[in-house]
Amino acid sequence: MKLKFHLFFLVLFLFSLSSFSQDSLSVFKVISKKAKMMTTDRLGNLYLAEDNFIWMYNNKGDSIGAFNSKKYGEISFVDATDPYKILVFFRDYNLIVFLDNYLSENGEPIDLQNLGFDQVVMACLSREKGFWVFDQLKQKIFHLNDNFEVTHETVNLSQWFGKAVEPNGMIEYNNQLYLNDKKTGVYVFDHFGTFMKKIPIKDLDQFQMLDGGLNYLDSNQFCQYNFQSFSTNCRKLIQPEIKTARIEKNKLYLLTKEKTIIYKTN
């Protein structure tokens, strides 16, 4: 009973951080599937990934698709920014695979080495069509169009910042590209690849861009950095086993070690 009481107020706070209002709050769905990573899309669909598998659930929490990537290796990153064109990155094989809205492969795998990129460590979608890749050896971010031609690229980041950048996350949001280096912070670039600023938040494993802010977990705290006020609000999580927290379509998604808990308002 005490745990439910604490979790209730935790969830109330999380929704207030993201400018949600509610008259009531309740558990919407519990998905008892172990996963290494979790993401969501703007339609409220949920994606869970573990090793070679991705499982997809609709906004009702019902299973609607699965993807087995055994022939491509372990899944490194899933970008569902566009729910109709999902990017799946396989770092070990230097490959990108696009999936449709039912997790069926959409086109042939993209071999990044054949395109001249020997050590891509991060990749994500672009609203300008195409996708972004970060090549660790070149220390540059490249934008490629649908014909796999480079249209934009950054300067050499190791030369620009005086040391090599080692990203563990990259996402495009509102025509800006966010590249996270766990040791130094989040680097922000415009849609041409020009460096704009650095957000001095360190030790991030995952983050979410939403409603003019950056949501992330900091140890056992859920935090939101506001881009307009440059302020950060954090609250302690009652359940220390939470690995990822995301907010989408008036729902709160919590990934724990063994399951995903979805809450809703109203």
Contact 247, 11 (CB under 8 A): no
pLDDT in tens, the chain (266 residues): 444 444 444 444 444 444 433 344 578 999 999 999 999 999 999 999 999 999 999 999 999 999 998 899 999 999 999 999 999 999 999 999 999 999 999 999 999 999 999 999 999 999 888 999 999 999 999 999 999 999 999 999 999 999 999 999 999 999 999 999 999 999 999 999 999 999 999 999 889 998 889 999 887 787 889 988 888 998 776 666 889 999 898 888 989 999 999 988 66
How many other CB atoms are there within 10 angstroms of residue 16's CB atom?
A: 14
Contact 30, 44 (CB under 8 A): no
Residue type, 163: K
The model's pTM is: 0.88
| Euclidean distance between CA atoms 48 and 231, whole angstroms | 31
- SS3 call for 245: strand
Residue 171 near residue 209 (C-beta atoms within 8 A): yes
- For residue 264, list its beta bridge partners: 26, 251
Q: How far apart are CA 15 and CA 138, in angstroms?
A: 41
* CA separation for the pair 36, 64 (Å, rounded): 19
Name the 3-class secondary structure at 39. strand
